[in-house]
Each structure stands twice: as C-alpha cells, then as structure tokens.
Chain A
Amino acid sequence: MLLEINGLTKYFGGLFAVRQFDMQINEGEIVGLIGPNGAGKTTTFNLITGVLRSNSGTITFAGKDITGKKPHEIAKLGIARTFQLNPLFGDFTVLENISASFHLYPRSSLLDIYFNTATYRLNEASILEQSLEILKLIGLDKMKDELSKNLAHGHQKMLGIGRALAVKPKLLLLDEPLGGMNPDEIDFTIRAIRKTQQKGVTILLVEHNMRIMDFCEKVIVINFGKKIAEGLPEEVRENKEVIRAYLGGEKVA
C-alpha cells in the first residue's frame, strides 16, 4: 500500500470539511476521487500535501507517517500535485517553469550553484534535457519560450501537470486536470496521464468529467467529508448513496 489515510478530520470553525475519512491507494493504481462540489476533495488534497493541518487522523505514505509535514517535505518524499486554480510562475517562460521545478532531483548544493562548478553545470544540462522531455510529453515544447502567464487556459493546466512531473513523484495528485479544457485537450491530457501511469507513477485524481472515471481502477466517493462509496467505476455508478449525493447537483452517468 502506497498511501493510507485513517480517520482524517479537518474542521473550520464549526464546519467539518473532512470527517473521519479513510482511503487506501496501492502502488501503480489510478484512483479517482469524486463527489459533489464542496464534498471535501480539494481539502483532502491539501491535507495530504501539508498545505492544511489536520485536526486528527493519520496519513501514511510508503510506510512513513507524513501527517503534519510541510508541503516541501512532502514533495521531497515523492508526492506531487496540481492545483485547481493552477498557480504558475507567471513571469517565467514555459521552459523556465519546468526547469525551476527541478529543485529536488538532481540537487546541486548551494556552493556548487554559486560557484558554477562542474557538478552544477552537469546537473543543469541534465535538467534542461529532462525539462524538454516533459514539455514534449505535455505538448508544450513548441511554445517553450512563451511567458507562462500569456498561455491559453488549457495550456496553463498542462504546464501545471508538467511542473508536478519535475518532482519525479511516486504519487501524483491531480486536482481537476481537465477543468476548462476543450475535447482535443482532454484527449491529449488523458493520454499524457496514462503515459505517466505506465512509467510507474501512482495517480490519484479528482475530476468531475466522468470520462476519466472509465479508466480508473478504483473510484472513491466522498460527500460532506466522509467516504460514502468505493469500488470499480461501474459499481460506484449504480450505488444508491452516490446517486442520492449527486441528485440536485451533477449527474453521475
């Protein structure tokens, strides 16, 4: 088991955003996390990645307890994520966004960097190469010198995914990666996600677009901060609880 969440709880004031939430993800899986708006999906992501502090419960990753660790420590342990609102390094070019994100591996020491040693130059060359590879995977290699703040929305989202890939994660958390994309972009993104999974990355994704549920091995449904269903996509689709949760909101199928 790669990621295990037990009894995770987070409340703001009097409101529970996540309540006694349990989840297990095995290595190599693609797992979907779905639920109506406000169900607690992004909060769960924020809790896993340390952006928010939980009130109780534990999160274990690859055997290590990561509850309460800070975001950069979690990235170092091998969890990367994208964000719904997709913050970027706006004044950097597309290529710079990716290369700046190669902060962890390969890691040059401060002295190496400052004094421009051979180690540093080797690392930078390797980073450049890997950045270009990622750009190719996400289809942004043609616009590598564009300022990222000038990109179209769909491309910006791809850039967010590319940036997460620079972390060389074991677990990739994608928060609505298809949001605001047109059908072509959606196809492309789904293919890129599959390629990433084939390289051995475990993926947990939150999405409203049901197409993506079709190739998830497991779907977990959350509502009002609690897990209400778990299983294969077809099973979940038929589940009465799930249908009731979405009534008045979006349709499940």
Chain B
Amino acid sequence: MDMSESLSTRDGKKLTKPAFYAGLMIILSLLPLFISQGYMLHILTLTFIYIIAAVSLRTITISGQFPLAHAAFMGMGAYLSGMASKWLGWSPWLTIPLAALMTAGIGMLIGYPFARLRALYYAMVSLFFGIGVTQAIYAGGIWTGGYGGLIGISPLLPPTTSKVPYYYLSLGLAMVSIIALYRFEFCRIGTTLKAVAQSHLAASSVGINEAWYRILAMGVGCFFVGLAGAAYAHYNLVISGTSFNFMATLWLVMYVLIGGIGHFAGPIIGTFILILIPEFFRDLKTYSPFIYAGTLIIVVYLMPQGLAGLPQMVRSWFTEHRKDKRTVHAA
C-alpha cells in the first residue's frame, strides 16, 4: 500500500473518496442537458477554470510556501498564450500548453532564489512579484494592449453559437488537472513536500533537498494556473491586467481558505460556492465582497478547517454530544 494513501484518508476522508468525485462528475457532465441558458453554462465554464487555479494554489501551499502572486501567474499564462496566438499566429492548441510550460518555468526561476527564505519573506516577495507582473502588462504597449487589454485572441474552437462545447472542454481540462494534482499530492512526492513544510531541518537531515522540492511545487502549481490562464484567454478572447491583479490573487486565496486549505477538495468547494452563490442572489452582487469577507471572518474564527471541514466538525460535535448522554446514563 502506498504510504501516502493513509494521509489522504485522514484529512477529509469523506471528501477525497472517489465516490464523491464520481458523483460530482456525473452531475456536471449531465448538466448541459438541463440548463439551456448560455449564461449559466458560461459561469460554470469559468468556474471550472478558476477551480484549476485554486487547486493549484493550494498545491503550492503544501510545501509550506504561501504564494501571493498566483493570479499574476494566471495572467502570465493568459498573456503568453494570447500574444503568441495573436502576434505569431500559432494555434491555441499549441500555445496553451506552451504558455503553461513557460509559466511553470518562470515560477521555478522566481522560486529558486527565494526557496530558502522564511514563509513570511516569501509571501512578501511573491506579493511584489505579482504586482510587478501586472505593471509590466500595463506597460507593455501594443504587445499586451496596455491598460485597455489584449483583444482579438484566437478562439480555441471555430465560432459557434452554443456554449456547450466550451463547457465540456473546460470541464474536461478541470478533471484532468484535478486528477494530476491529486496524484501529485498523494504520492511520495506530496508526502515529501508535506515533510518539508513541517520541519525543514528534519527533512534536510534525511537527505531531502528542501529548496529543490519547494521549487518543484512552485513549478507544478504554476503550470496548472498558467494552463487555466491560457484557457481563459482563448475562451474569453479578451484579457486585461485587472483580471490578474493583487485583488484577483486575494479572491483565489479566499476560495481556497473558505473551502478549507487543509483538504484537497477545499478549493473546489470554495470556488464553486463563492462563484455560484452570488449568481443566485443577483441583487446582492454589489455587497458580495462583504459576504465573502464576512465568511472569511467566520472561517478564521470558528472554522479554521474551512467549509470542507464542516462534515468533520459536525461529526465530532455529534460524538461529543452522544458521549455526554452516555455519561448521564452511567451516573
């Protein structure tokens, strides 16, 4: 038995079980049959893309680093792919994976000098780097479209009236990414990353090159967020720096934290809830930041495990409650 499997059953047992994902997949695959309005499909398509970004952000945090530039890397993937397809005329099917690889490379390059820094310092530096990227985008003149954004990006599919093909493409991409990141976390590589996060001294004393592993986590996380960004670019066909600024990173971080940073499914849950719920309460949209911030506060004070930890919390509350009843009887 793979040693790492025991870890997966411990954190979020119910939620990392295949049954959960299978059920979710079935529901999501069948949805377009029931939903005809293009808007809902559009929102879901975007949600799947953001899920990839959120899960990949969490993957990086496994190694003990907290990247505060994640949306900037998403922007990198988007702009690299968008610019390559627009100015070089390459097909999006080529530029998307290439952009993801380049984003991964840049992430690893940036990670290299800072992999030896304390978590606090790393957070500050990544914050910075993210801002630098957005500024570079704005200063990019014609090539990036500057403040106005990049338009005229080649679409992934020939123009269609239906949103359905993009829905399935996005869903498929998300599925593949989730499976890939899941395996990454729950094999020995992931275990080693978690070891490094808990004690870099102990890890290096058993031969683990902690700097290298942190860079690896950065590379993998950046690959997938770059992928998400590139997919976004060729779906939306218009991108601008404002979608990838510091605030955007904060949103991604919120999705992960509210969903629960300790659980693999946390970012998935968080993204779904935080994107979809405002869609159902359209009038509250201006106030949605308050609702999010409020939820964050609740999570931080009362539910550090995030929403993904809810089943666990409920279960332990029940067992406590039942224990009391039993002692009453004993007395």
Contacts and interface: CB of A to CB of B under 8 A. Distances in A.
Contacts of B188: 108, 113, 120, 124
Contacts of A103: 192, 206-208
B204 A87 contact: no
Nearest to A124: B2
Given A91-B198, A113-B188, A128 B205 contact: no
B206 A80 contact: yes
A87 B203 CA distance: 9
B135 interface: no
A18 interface: no
A243 interface: no
B316 interface: no
Contacts of B204: 51, 70-72, 75
B273 interface: no
Contacts of B195: 89, 92, 100-101
Interface in A80-107: 80-81, 83, 87-93, 95-96, 99-101, 103-104
A93 B205 contact: no
A114 B189 contact: yes
B128 to A, nearest CB: 27
Contacts, number: 95
A83 B201 contact: yes
Give chain A's interface residue range (CB within 8 Å of chain B). 35 or more
B6 interface: yes
A141 to B, nearest CB: 16
B199 A113 contact: no
Contact of A72 (B7, B187, B209): B209
A163 interface: yes
25 contacts: A51-B201, A70-B204, A72-B204, A72-B207, A72-B209, A80-B205, A80-B206, A83-B202, A87-B202, A88-B199, A90-B198, A92-B7, A96-B3, A96-B7, A96-B191, A100-B195, A103-B192, A103-B206, A104-B207, A113-B188, A114-B184, A116-B187, A124-B1, A124-B188, A128-B3
- For the complex of A and B, the 7 pairs showing the least CB-CB separation, nearest first, are A75-B207, A71-B204, A87-B199, A101-B206, A104-B207, A89-B198, A72-B209
Interface of A: 49, 51, 70-72, 75-76, 80-81, 83, 87-93, 95-96, 99-101, 103-104, 108, 110, 113-114, 116, 120-121, 124, 127-128, 163-164, 166-167
